[in-house]
Amino acid sequence: MTKSFKLNMVAASLAALLLTACGGADTDIIEQDPIEVPDDGGDNGDEHDHGTGDISVDSSGRLAVFNEDTSVTSVFDIKTGDLLDTFSSTHTDNSLTASANYRFAVVASRNNDYVEFIDSGLLIEDHGDHLHEYEYAPVRSDYTLNGSSPTHIVKNDDEMIIFYDGNADAGVPASVQVLKDSDISGETSELPHIDYSVNMHGVAQSQDDGEYLLSTIRRDAADSTSSGTLPDQVGVYHLHGTEYEQEQILDVTCPDLHGAAQNDDYVVFGCSDGVLVSHEHDGEFEAVKITNVDEVGTSRIGSLYGHDESDSLIGVASGALFAINPAVSTMEKLEWQLADGVSAVSYSFSHGAEYFLVLDSEGYLNILNSHSHDGEAHWVLVDTIDISEEDISTMPEGMNFSMTVAQNGDYVYVADPIAQHILQIDLEEMSITRDYEIGFSAKALTWLGIAEEGHDDDEDDDHNH
């Protein structure tokens, strides 16, 4: 490890502990000099006049890091390593991801039907003839959502799609909401949505800048090819006002549908007998099935990862990795796989899709790169980085390593709950370049900031049972 940036966490931890004991909401810890902010009259929204307060942003981004023991999300500055502020969550057992344009941390509590947001303080605005970047201190948003069981949260282009599973015992059906970062900052009261008549464990994907949603359909048990609350069909929904109306049902069924992702041209859903592939052609959405290869066996593709700049998507079936190329309808098991007894704890494309990353339970970051052979991409292991010097058997109960990928450069950030630090890994150098000591065991982390244009990673960001 080439550098160590230690935070003064003693005072911060005491302050957070005192605040939690008193039942407070937000701490007010700033470990660096206050950031000068544009004079916006205290409004954190996007639609306001910044006057002459414009500043230039020189930021690598920020990390939102969740401490499950205290239900506190801490926001760190990546460039300086400083703790900027901490925010107590309303509920425990939360998941953490980023909003569509990475401005907000999204804290979701599936068991409590609650989603809340933390403004990173880094944003970009369109001023007509130019784009302008702004930087200010992070702040809790007053905006919250209260759908039933927010489970699958994904990002497509500039939109975040939340699929609410609903609750059969309470008689609450499933629903979908679609929102942009501007909806969060502007506290939009009625979001584009789908309201179902039955609960289901489903997922939705956005198409054509949100004009269409490909969203799952659960049929009656007598007709369905799925078990339990899993859907087996996909509907095409067209936005009219703030409501998505069903216009089409894809003519290919998808038994036990679970997981979805997309690249620039295709949307793919995981099924027990293969993957359902859909794309738009002459104003209609068509669908085909890529059947499982023999190596899938009795398992199924239950998780999918895609990226706009990758022709192939990565599917996961019982821990095994498969490359799926929807353009030529192929599925191929990757030559590299995790060793027996080792499991993956996190997957992600790098921000430009040059690499696919697999963080495993033994504390290794496995880096795969694709090369072209016979006109198709084949993923091979190019490096493995040991990210922990600790005894893995001392991992805190219910925790594991976690990672997040920067969206403005080839950096990965890995949290080690045993060592209570976060490592920065440079994918160009294939090495650990920074060590942030945070003083607590991180349950999850996510990168926030101003993303580089032209990249769109699509994966299931939040799938919390």
CATH number of the CATH domain containing 389? 2.120.10
Segments forming the whole domain that contains residue 66: 5-203+335-463
Query: Using CB atoms within 10 A of its CB, is residue 116 exposed (0-12), middle (13-18) or buried (19+)?
Result: buried
Q: Which amino acid is at 245?
A: E
- pLDDT tens per residue, range 326-347: 999 999 999 999 999 999 999 9
Instruction: Flag whether 100 is in a domain.
Output: yes
- In 328-430, DSSP assigns E strands to 330-333, 344-349, 355-360, 364-373, 376-386, 402-405, 411-416, 421-426
Instruction: Flag whether 211 is in a domain.
Output: no
Instruction: Flag whether 111 is in a domain.
Output: yes
Q: Among 9-18, 237-246, 270-279, 374-383, which stretch is predicted with the lowest mean pLDDT?
A: 9-18
Instruction: Flag whether 142 is in a domain.
Output: yes
Q: Is it the case that residue 298 has pLDDT exceeding 50?
A: yes
Instruction: Flag whether 141 is in a domain.
Output: yes
Mean pLDDT within 47-71 = 71
E strand or H helix at 18, and its extent? Answer: helix 9-21
Query: Using CB atoms within 10 A of its CB, is residue 382 exposed (0-12), middle (13-18) or buried (19+)?
Result: middle
The DSSP bridge pattern shows strands 212-217 and 233-240 to be antiparallel
For 269, list phi and psi in degrees, rounded to 5.
-120, 140
Query: Using CB atoms within 10 A of its CB, is residue 290 exposed (0-12), middle (13-18) or buried (19+)?
Result: buried
Give dist(CA 235, CA 251) in Å, integer: 9
Give dist(CA 352, CA 181) in Å, integer: 22
pTM of the entire predicted model: 0.86
The DSSP bridge pattern shows strands 5-6 and 431-437 to be parallel
Instruction: Flag whether 16 is in a domain.
Output: yes
Please name the residue that has the structure tokens 């926001």: 75
The angle formed by the CA atoms of residues 324, 329 and 334, to the nearest 5 degrees, is 30
Q: Among 32-41, 170-179, 295-304, which stretch is predicted with the lowest mean pLDDT?
A: 32-41
- pLDDT value at residue 372: 73
- pLDDT value at residue 320: 98
Instruction: Flag whether 117 is in a domain.
Output: yes
Closest CA to 348 of 299, 411, 422: 411
Overall domain count for the chain: 1
Q: In this structure, is the dihedral angle defined by the CA atoms of residues 29, 34, 36 and 39, taken in order, positive or negative?
A: positive
Instruction: Flag whether 91 is in a domain.
Output: yes
